[in-house]
Amino acid sequence: MRVLSISDENKAEVARVLEFASKKENHYKPFAVKDAALSVPGDDLRYVAQLDSFRCVFTITEDSDGKTWKHLSISIPSEKYPHPLAAFTIATLFGFKGWDGHTEDEVPVGWVANANEHEHCVTLGQAV
């Protein structure tokens, strides 16, 4: 079992990333650059929060349709994926709304979720 602590240190780490990612000039715009592969948020530590053994990459992403999304990827040092309760809890720390705090077998209404096999992470999104 992997432990996620909601410590002051972890809250400060989330706040640091949220402050940076929320500034309009730091929004991730993958469709506005010629080669989005050269602009990967996970390679920029200003978008990365290490919460115990959970590596979290958070952006405010502007898609090609002009919609803005909270986007969060979470990975762990394992062949497994983060447990849904941990992933949903982390998402709420990053400002995602709508989770009831205990359901683990359904993605909260209004969220999108994916297990990314290539990057070996869970990704969550919610329209802003």
Using one digit for the tens of pLDDT, what is the confidence trace for 33-78?
Answer: 665 555 789 999 999 999 999 999 999 999 888 899 999 999 999 8
Structural contact between residues 71 and 125, judged by C-beta atoms closer than 8 angstroms: yes
Counting Cα atoms < 13 Å in the Cβ hemisphere of 7 gives: 9
* pTM summary value: 0.92
Least confident of 25-34, 51-60, 88-97, 118-127: 25-34
The DSSP code sequence of 79-116 is SS---HHHHHHHHHHTT-----SS--SSPPTTEEEEEE
What does the domain layout of the chain look like in residue ranges? 8-127
**Longest distance between any two alpha carbons in the chain, whole Å:** 42
Using one digit for the tens of pLDDT, what is the confidence trace for 112-125?
Answer: 999 988 888 999 99
